[in-house]
Amino acid sequence: MNQPSRLRESLLALSLLAMAFPVFAKAPDGYTRNVAIVVYEGVELLDFAGPGEVFGAASGFGRDRGRSAFNVYTVAVSKNPLSSGFVKITPAYDVDDAPRPDIIVIPGGNTGALLDSPKFMAWLKATQANAEVTLIVCTGAFTVAKLGLLDGKQVTTFYGAIDSLRRQTPKATVIDGRRFVDNGSIITTAGVSAGIDGALHTVARLLGRAVADQTARYMEYRWTPESYLSTGYAYLNPSLDEGGRQLQQAQIWEAEQNYADASKAYRAMIEADPGDGFAWYRLGACLQAEGQLDAAIDAARHAAAFADVRSDALYNLACGLALQGHADDAIASLQQAVAAGFKAKWLLDGDPDLASIRPDPRFQKIASSL
């Protein structure tokens, strides 16, 4: 291809991409999106593990008042164990009983196993029509190509399969040199590690740049979206309402250890709605981090009245009481936390706030019960 043609192709790609994906996204009524990661015999390991790690981590970073952003699961033609090189996989679901996916991830590898399966192709055709996003990694592109879903679109794939995809999809524009190409409901990526970039882009689209950045930082992955993309992402989660985005901003400040601004934001939420148990719970955590123990204990007691945060609030209350030297009250609060469902034994074992009561036999009995 000559240089003018490449330039026209690049400019067209940018213009189409700018129009293709919406800045704002609407989550399902239950907030949590189902992410179905397709696996099969001979699937490329990083093709599915990379996006799986992204969506798994982003599920927590994009959490809203205890609701996970994503429910990530594997699906295959059957539940029989299969292999990806030296790794053995037992699929969580087969195509007959898998939850309806909002996002489908189709990795590359030995895609003939999918293309030759009428059962899988029928499932893909039915589910993709109703999915919000289908993320296709590497040679996974050949599955949707067989269904004609790439016609009229700009797409990419593994560099070694570019020519083959061009031959098989003459109605699509297959381009190389791109980590991923977004067509709105269908995102195609290049090979192997490029699936991570495509998944982070999907997270940024659906949950905002802040969640994608937190996810990449957790993965210690150098994610550097190009400038024309980064300006198109909402910073805060567009799946949330205004109150949800206010809460997200407060949690970002909290994660940055900017406890003063986070506390101020949580107080504003409580002033607007004294029945906001989650805001009481996080306010208590911020105040404790600032060393304002009396106020932190008061906030934790308020939060403990709300069932959805009761166990964690009682744990924080125990920490505050232990720091103040009130061993009996701290032990009692821990017992109540466990009774309410607290199960994080690793916190009991390592939290420095509980150092003063850790030698107590009553504490050790609580820890051994978890």
Q: Which fold has domain 3-230?
A: Rossmann fold (3.40.50)
Dihedral sign from CA coordinates of 306, 310, 316, 320: positive
Q: Express each pLDDT in 189-227 by its tens digit.
A: 999 999 999 999 999 999 999 999 999 999 999 998 877
pLDDT of residue 27: 77
pLDDT confidence of residue 18: 42
Task: Mark out the alpha helices in 208-276 (DSSP H runs).
Answer: 209-219, 227-230, 242-255, 259-272
Q: What is the mean pLDDT of residues 163-169?
A: 96
Task: Give me the pLDDT at residue 25, please.
Answer: 65
Q: How far is CA 341 from each of CA 308, 327, 334, 337, 370, rounded to the nearest angstrom?
A: 10, 21, 11, 6, 10
Per-residue pLDDT tens over the stretch 336-370 = 999 999 999 999 999 999 999 999 999 999 999 99
- 3-230 and 242-368 in the same fold: no
Residue positions counted in the chain: 370
CA 293 to chain centre: 33
Does 24 have pLDDT greater than 80?
A: no
Is the model's pLDDT at 16 over the cut of 50?
A: no
Share of the chain above pLDDT 70, in %: 93
Q: Helix (H, G, I), strand (E, B), or coil: what is residue 34?
A: strand
**Region 71-92: what's the mean pLDDT?**
96
**Rounded Cα gap, residues 62 and 66, in angstroms:** 10
Query: What pLDDT is attached to residue 15?
Result: 45
Q: What is the pTM of this model?
A: 0.87
Give domain limits for the chain.
3-230, 242-368
Residue 20: predicted pLDDT: 47
Q: How many CA atoms lie within 13 A of 187 on its CB side?
A: 29
Specify the 3-state DSSP secondary structure of 180: strand
- Dihedral over Cα of 262, 68, 18, 199: its sign: positive
How far apart are alpha carbons 319 and 333 in whole angstroms?
9
Mean pLDDT of the chain: 92
pLDDT at 66: 87
- Give me the long-range contacts of 96-101 (CB less than 8 A, separation at least 24): 98/36, 98/73, 98/123, 99/34, 99/36, 99/71, 99/73, 100/34, 100/127, 100/130, 101/34, 101/35, 101/36, 101/75, 101/127, 101/131
Question: Which residue's structure tokens are 């699961």?
Answer: 73
Q: What is the pLDDT of residues 99-147, one digit of tens each?
A: 999 999 999 999 999 999 999 999 999 999 999 999 999 999 999 999 9
Instruction: Provide the pLDDT for residue 229.
Output: 81
According to the model, what pLDDT value does residue 226 have? 79
Question: Strand, helix or coil at 117?
Answer: coil
> How many CB atoms are closer than 10 A to CB 365?
11
pLDDT score for 14: 46
Tell me the pLDDT tens digit for each residue of 268-306. 999 999 999 999 999 999 999 999 999 999 999 999 999
The CATH code belonging to domain 242-368 is 1.25.40.10
Of the chain, the percentage scoring pLDDT greater than 90 comes to 89
Contact indicator for 62, 203 with CB cutoff of 8 Å: yes
How many other C-beta atoms are found inside a 10 Å radius of the C-beta of residue 18? 13
Q: Where does the chain have alpha helices with state H?
A: 3-20, 45-61, 112-115, 118-128, 141-146, 162-168, 194-207, 209-219, 227-230, 242-255, 259-272, 277-289, 293-303, 310-323, 327-339, 345-350, 361-368
The dihedral through the CA atoms of 362, 321, 266, 269 has a sign that is positive
DSSP letter assigned to residue 190 = -
